[in-house]
């Protein structure tokens, strides 16, 4: 137990030191969703109306509606950032040193996932505090009830980042991940607009949104921010996290040489 705890501490401290040294990473993670919050609120308010009816039977402004989606966007970008750092560590050899530890490989990867998730949570709550300036004011208890949901979503997207890092062989290929993973996952979800609006526009797009696990991650956070539990979103998010984590662990198994 002591060795496992020291290993987790080492991975966590290393990730936080890397995060602290990359101040631009924190600023971009904060400015990007705030910019989207202001711009998309101004652009979509005319189309969707000033208020939107939500499943929890209350009227909220569009800024408040998209805030959970932007929180998940922060988690998504950080999950992909962890994918980039894993590829870099593999090229530099530090990943090989970590995986040579006598501790089980799944545990080592779980430490990496949890460290990434905790860093992501600090950025999310910094964004939520800044969002108060544009009248995004969920119930105070929502900041507490949303924490488990945000942690689960952070683990989901960290596991996805780990899985992708097993397929990305060079840093130059990361731009393809941005184009073919991040943006489709984000835009084909309920992060920026309700699914019923998407269904009114196009049934095919609605179907893609409905099968996108990121949609359920957003809905889990959105309900949790108002002290409610979306059971369907919870089960799907848990299932997707388990699948991505299992595939990532399998992807990091040592491969036998053909000779």
pLDDT of 108-148, one tens digit each? 788 888 888 888 898 899 899 988 888 788 888 989 999 99
pLDDT per residue over 219-248, tens digit each?
Answer: 999 999 988 899 999 999 999 999 998 988
Residue 131 lies in a domain: yes
CA dist list (Å): 33 to 29, 77, 84, 126, 170: 7, 11, 20, 11, 28
Which of the two residues, 77 and 103, has the higher pLDDT score? 77
pLDDT of residue 97: 62
Model confidence pLDDT, tens digit, residues 197-211? 788 778 888 899 999
Q: Which tens digit of pLDDT belongs to each residue from 65-89?
A: 888 999 999 999 888 877 777 766 6
The CA radius of gyration of the chain, in Å to the nearest whole number, is 19
Only one residue has tokens 């369907």, namely: 232
User: How far apart, in whole angstroms, are the C-alpha atoms of residue 184 and residue 213?
Assistant: 12
* pLDDT mean across residues, the chain: 79
258 belongs to a structural domain: no
pLDDT digits (tens, 9 = 90+) for 23-53: 666 677 678 888 888 877 766 666 655 555 5
The model's confidence at residue 6, banded by pLDDT at 50, 70 and 90, is confident
Count Cβ atoms below 10 Å from residue 63 Cβ, excluding itself. 19
Q: Is residue 214's pLDDT more than 50? A: yes
Residues with Cβ < 8 Å from 98, sequence gap 6 or more? 11, 89, 108
Residue 227 lies in a domain: yes
> For residue 142, which phi and psi values (nearest 5 degrees)?
-65, -30
Instruction: Give Cβ neighbours of residue 85 (< 8 Å, ≥ 6 apart).
Output: 18
Q: What is the DSSP-derived secondary structure letter of residue 174?
A: H
Indicate whether 183 belongs to any domain: yes
Which DSSP string corresponds to 87-135?
A: HHHHHHTHHHHHHTSSS-HHHHHHHHHHHHHHHHHHHHHHHHHHHGGGT
Residue 133: which of 38, 29, 36 has the closest Cα? 38
DSSP state of 61: E
- Measured in residues, the chain has a length of 259
pLDDT digits (tens, 9 = 90+) for 150-174: 999 999 998 888 888 777 766 666 6
Which has more confidence, 98 or 19?
Answer: 19
The domain in which residue 247 lies consists of: 2-251
Side-chain-facing half-sphere of 148: CA atoms under 13 Å: 11
- Please check whether residue 8 lies inside any domain of the structure: yes
- pLDDT number for residue 259: 38
In a domain, residue 84? The reply is yes
Residue 94 neighbours by CB distance under 10 Å = 13
Q: At residue 55, does pLDDT exceed 60?
A: no
Per the structure, the count of domains in the chain is 1
The predicted model scores a pTM of 0.84
Tell me whether residue 109 is in a domain.
yes
In this prediction, residue 36 carries a pLDDT of 81
- Looking at 26-30, 196-200, 215-219, 253-257, which range is the least confident one? 253-257
Backbone angles phi, psi at 59, to 5 degrees: -95, 130
Whether 257 is in a domain gets the answer: no
Quickly tell me which residue has 């900041």 as its tokens: 143
Residue 257 has pLDDT above 50, yes or no: no
Q: How far apart are CA 223 and CA 121, in angstroms?
A: 17
Give the pLDDT of residue 104: 76
Given a contact cutoff of 8 angstroms between Cβ atoms, the answer to whether 249 and 96 are in contact is no
Amino acid 51: pLDDT: 52
> Rounded CA gap, 232 and 126, in Å?
28
Q: What integer pLDDT is reported at residue 72 of this predicted model? A: 93
């Amino acid at each position: 137990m002591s060795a496992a705890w020291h290993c987790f501490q080492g991975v966590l401290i290393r990730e936080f030191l890397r995060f602290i040294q990359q101040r631009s990473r924190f600023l971009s993670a904060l400015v990007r969703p705030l910019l989207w919050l202001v711009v998309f609120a101004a652009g979509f308010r005319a189309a969707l109306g000033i208020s939107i009816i939500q499943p929890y039977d209350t009227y909220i402004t569009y800024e408040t509606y998209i805030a959970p989606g932007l929180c998940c966007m922060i988690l998504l970008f950080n999950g992909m950032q962890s994918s980039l750092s894993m590829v870099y560590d593999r090229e530099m050899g530090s990943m090989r040193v970590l995986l040579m530890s006598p501790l089980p490989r799944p545990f080592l990867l779980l430490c990496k996932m949890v460290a990434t998730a905790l860093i992501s949570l600090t950025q999310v709550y910094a964004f939520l505090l800044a969002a108060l300036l544009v009248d995004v004011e969920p119930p105070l208890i929502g900041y507490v009830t949303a924490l488990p949901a945000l942690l689960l979503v952070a683990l989901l997207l960290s596991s996805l980042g780990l899985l992708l890092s097993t397929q990305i062989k060079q840093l130059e290929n990361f731009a393809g991940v941005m184009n073919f993973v991040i943006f489709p996952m984000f835009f084909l979800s309920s992060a920026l607009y309700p699914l019923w609006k998407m269904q009114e526009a196009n049934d095919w797009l609605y179907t893609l949104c409905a099968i996108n696990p990121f949609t359920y991650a957003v809905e889990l956070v959105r309900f949790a921010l108002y002290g409610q539990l979306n059971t369907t979103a919870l089960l799907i998010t848990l299932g997707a996290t388990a699948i991505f984590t299992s595939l990532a662990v399998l992807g990091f198994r040592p491969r036998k040489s053909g000779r």
